[in-house]
Amino acid sequence: MARRSSGASSVRAVNYATSPLLASKTPQWRSRFLVMLLGLSSLALAGRALYVQVVNAEFFLQRGEERYAAKLPLPANRGRILDRNGQVLAVSLGAPTVTADPRVFKASSGQRRELAALLGMKPAELDKRLADASAYVVLRRQVSEATAREIRALGVKGLAFEPGYVRRYPENEAAAHVVGFTGQNDMGQEGIELALERQLEGSGGQRMVVRDRLGRIVEDLGEPQGPRDGDDVQLTIDAKVQAMAYQRIRDAVQQHKAKAGSVVVLDAQTGEILALANYPSYQPEDRRNLTGAQLRNRAITDVFEPGSTVKPFVVAKALENRLVRPETVLDTRPFRVGPLLVNDGNHGRPQMSVAQVVQKSSNVGTVHLAQRLSDQEMGEMYADLGFGSKPQIGFPGAANGRLRQWKSWRPVEKATIAYGYGVSASLLQIARAYTALAHDGMLMPVSLIKGQQPPAGVRVYSAETARTMRQMLRGTVSKEGTAPLAQPVGYSAGGKTGTAEKIEGRSYVKNKHRAWFTGLSPIERPRVIVSVMVDEPSGVFFGGLVAAPVFKSVVEQALRTLGEPPDLDIAPPVVSSADVMAAAEAEVRP
């Protein structure tokens, strides 16, 4: 006990104030520095808190949300494209995109095989895609709703479905050049899909969601912003007439082993385009190995010398100016205009009436009538008919064609322009020009969009001249004309053939031709104008043998589809191909 007391007394005996270790005083500046440092730190923390929570609170809230919130796009449903009767030409169907999160993906070997089969891939490809991704991988875009339901039924963990649409074209290649198609981004690439992109596209919406650490959606943040679907577009096209016109031109091209062909069908009274078909065509939903030749809408983008199809306009102008009457007899023996020998080939006649000039497609008679017109009268007539001007149909790629100013014409140029050389036009422009004959002298504007107010028509001829000209055009499809094979069963018709050598570079090629026929039906009050062109037919190449039969079939079926009653009780006359060929030879003149 004594020893313990002694130790305690010695500890209490230590004088801390006088200890050499504790006796030294702390410098006063050091304590002040520490206090000041603590104060500044507190102020910095308070300032930072004020900056984060008050001054720039929105920024930090957004950065925080980025860690757990996500914006999911809600695509808009693209507007439909309809024909004049409401039949669907293009429509968007639900087609979600299948995605996966490899971090939580879990499937048995059997589920993997079934999933790969539904996605249209091999199991090894599925495994590779999942292995190469970290948190997000697209397995297949635009699967059908039926396929999506089958995938969901597998119960595979880690899969997700993003909303989307796929474009479908029920009329397929028959209307491909009119409707066009969209790309993977659902934006228009060709045709009406491109021309009316703003109306069709709509605007997408979005949905804010909260994701957990594995990327799964656990909550919605606020109300979703719904998309605005695109507007429907209605065309003047009649789907039945379009499909039938496509079939007929396809058959003609294949039968004659031609390079290509086109058909335009117009409503003769309104100028509305009822059909615009080309062959070769393509499938809008399967564009693998697609070529530029298939994509080209030849009826409105390709221009060519229209040949004899323009002769009726020159004849009509001579009638309009009362220079001749249908029964007026003309000297149709060959003659020269400068270096050009104007002739009708081996089947010419020394004399023809004006009506026979149209019926037999006489180059000589047409040039004689053109020479009675002033250059200005003839040039302005061609311009009034739309030659050299782009058709205002709101469609990409429509061509202007070519028409030189009449002031620069030489006599030889005026002569060749009279029978369709030295001027160029698209098939649509030629069809439109015939509205001036079908609509009692008024050239009608052509339209492709239903409901659009077209500009007013332009008077080119008097109603009397147009009616007289239509009766003369009937002669072309008679047994004595150049196109008896164009006469429809049950309907009166009239028109004009065309056959011409193609020009390549600066010269005409003897073994390459274009054959066409443009006409109208019925004669008294035409309901349709049909223009047909076949490019480079093999073997037989005359318009009366190649294009005229297409006109006949298209007119018959179009008028029946439109509910037009027949105006004839008799069948067309039976004629031989030899007779047609003999009558048509005079047209092949460069």
pLDDT (tens digit per residue) in 58-110: 776 666 655 566 666 677 889 999 999 999 999 988 888 898 888 888 888 88
How many domains would you assign to the chain?
2
pLDDT at 313 over 80: yes
In total, the chain counts a number of residues equal to 590
Query: What is the percent of the chain where pLDDT is above 70?
Result: 85
Question: Which pLDDT score, from 0 to 100, does residue 74 have?
Answer: 74
Q: Report the predicted TM-score, pTM, of the whole model to 2 decimal places.
A: 0.81
Is the same domain home to 220 and 246? Answer: no
Question: Which pLDDT score, from 0 to 100, does residue 133 have?
Answer: 66
What φ, ψ does residue 272 adopt, rounded to 5°? -70, 140
Is the same domain home to 172 and 270? Answer: no
Question: Which pLDDT score, from 0 to 100, does residue 8 have?
Answer: 47
Nearest CA to 96 out of 165, 186, 155 is that of 165
What percent helix, strand, coil does the chain show, rounded to 5? 40, 20, 40
Catalytic residue among 262, 281, 308, 492: 308
Question: Could you tell me which residues come within 8 angstroms of residue 17 by beta carbon, excluding any fewer than 6 positions away?
Answer: 23
Residue bearing the bigger pLDDT, 137 or 424? 424
Q: Is residue 135 a part of any domain in this protein?
A: no
Instruction: Give the pLDDT band (50/70/90) at residue 25.
Output: low
Residue 174 lies in domain: 67-103+165-235
Mean pLDDT value of segment 407-424: 93
pLDDT at 544 over 50: yes
Nearest CA to 193 out of 233, 150, 154, 149 is that of 233
Mean pLDDT value of segment 39-50: 80
Residue bearing the bigger pLDDT, 257 or 64? 257
Residue 203 pairs in a beta bridge with 228
Domain of 359, CATH number, reads 3.40.710.10
Question: Which pLDDT score, from 0 to 100, does residue 274 have?
Answer: 97
Judge whether 497 and 548 are in contact, CB under 8 Å.
Answer: yes
Instruction: Give the pLDDT band (50/70/90) at residue 560.
Output: very high
Question: Which pLDDT score, from 0 to 100, does residue 496 have?
Answer: 95
Q: Burial-class residue 470 by CB neighbours within 10 Å (0-12, 13-18, 19+).
A: buried
Stretch (H or E) spanning 497? strand 494-504
Dump the DSSP string for 87-101.
-EEEEEEE-PEEEE-
β-bridge pairing 97-100 and 137-140:
antiparallel
Instruction: Give the pLDDT band (50/70/90) at residue 389.
Output: very high
Is the same domain home to 180 and 317? Answer: no
Q: Is the dihedral of CA 368, 373, 377, 379 positive or negative?
A: positive
Dump the DSSP string for 321-348.
TTS--TT-EEE-S-EEETTEEE--GGG-
Q: Which residue has the tokens 């891939």?
A: 121
Residue 346 tokens, joined: 């081996």
Q: Is residue 442 a part of any domain in this protein?
A: yes
C-alpha–C-alpha distance, residues 545 and 517, integer Å: 10
Question: Which pLDDT score, from 0 to 100, does residue 443 have?
Answer: 95
Q: Tens of pLDDT along 5-15?
A: 444 444 455 55
- Domain end residue (candidates: 235, 269, 294): 235
Average pLDDT over the chain, rounded to an integer: 86
Question: Could you tell me which residues come within 8 angstroms of residue 42 by beta carbon, excluding any fewer than 6 positions away?
Answer: none
C-alpha–C-alpha distance, residues 110 and 408, integer Å: 80
What φ, ψ does residue 547 adopt, rounded to 5°? -90, -35
Question: Mutual orientation of helices 363-371 and 411-418 as an angle, nearest 10°?
Answer: 130
C-alpha–C-alpha distance, residues 315 and 418, integer Å: 9
Q: Which of 81-95, 235-249, 573-587 has the lowest mean pLDDT?
A: 573-587
Mean pLDDT value of segment 167-193: 90
Q: Is residue 12 a part of any domain in this protein?
A: no
Residue 436 tokens, joined: 């001036």
Question: Which pLDDT score, from 0 to 100, does residue 42 have?
Answer: 83
Q: Is residue 544 a part of any domain in this protein?
A: yes
pLDDT at 157 over 80: yes
Residue 245 tokens, joined: 């016109």
- Domain end residue (candidates: 235, 250, 275): 235
Q: Which of 13-27, 155-169, 232-246 has the lowest mean pLDDT?
A: 13-27
Question: Which pLDDT score, from 0 to 100, does residue 365 have?
Answer: 95
Q: Is residue 138 a part of any domain in this protein?
A: no
Q: Is residue 28 a part of any domain in this protein?
A: no
pLDDT at 1 over 50: no
Is the same domain home to 490 and 445? Answer: yes
Residue 28 tokens, joined: 């006063």
C-alpha–C-alpha distance, residues 518 and 402, integer Å: 19
Question: Which pLDDT score, from 0 to 100, does residue 14 have?
Answer: 53
Mean pLDDT value of segment 385-397: 89
Is the same domain home to 386 and 403? Answer: yes
Where are the extended beta strands (E) located within 235-297? Answer: 260-267, 273-279
Question: Which pLDDT score, from 0 to 100, does residue 580 have?
Answer: 60
Is the same domain home to 301 and 337? Answer: yes
Judge whether 349 and 329 are in contact, CB under 8 Å.
Answer: no
Question: Which pLDDT score, from 0 to 100, does residue 578 have?
Answer: 63
Is the same domain home to 182 and 252? Answer: no
Residue bearing the bigger pLDDT, 503 or 461? 461
Mean pLDDT value of segment 363-387: 95
Mean pLDDT value of segment 531-546: 92
pLDDT at 536 over 60: yes
Is the same domain home to 209 and 260? Answer: no
Is the same domain home to 231 and 251? Answer: no
Q: Is residue 537 a part of any domain in this protein?
A: yes
Is the same domain home to 323 and 226? Answer: no
Mean pLDDT value of segment 138-144: 87
pLDDT at 249 over 80: yes
- Other C-beta atoms closer than 10 Å to the C-beta of 135 total 11
- Domain end residue (candidates: 220, 235, 250): 235
Residue bearing the bigger pLDDT, 572 or 504? 504
pLDDT at 2 over 50: no
Domain of 194, CATH number, reads 3.90.1310.10
Is the same domain home to 425 and 304? Answer: yes
Question: Mutual orientation of helices 109-119 and 123-132 as an angle, nearest 10°?
Answer: 100
What single DSSP character describes residue 466?
H
Q: Which residue has the tokens 């029978």?
A: 419
Question: Which pLDDT score, from 0 to 100, does residue 62 have?
Answer: 65
Q: Does residue 308 have an active-site annotation?
A: yes
Q: Is residue 55 a part of any domain in this protein?
A: no
C-alpha–C-alpha distance, residues 131 and 134, integer Å: 8
Is the same domain home to 224 and 247? Answer: no
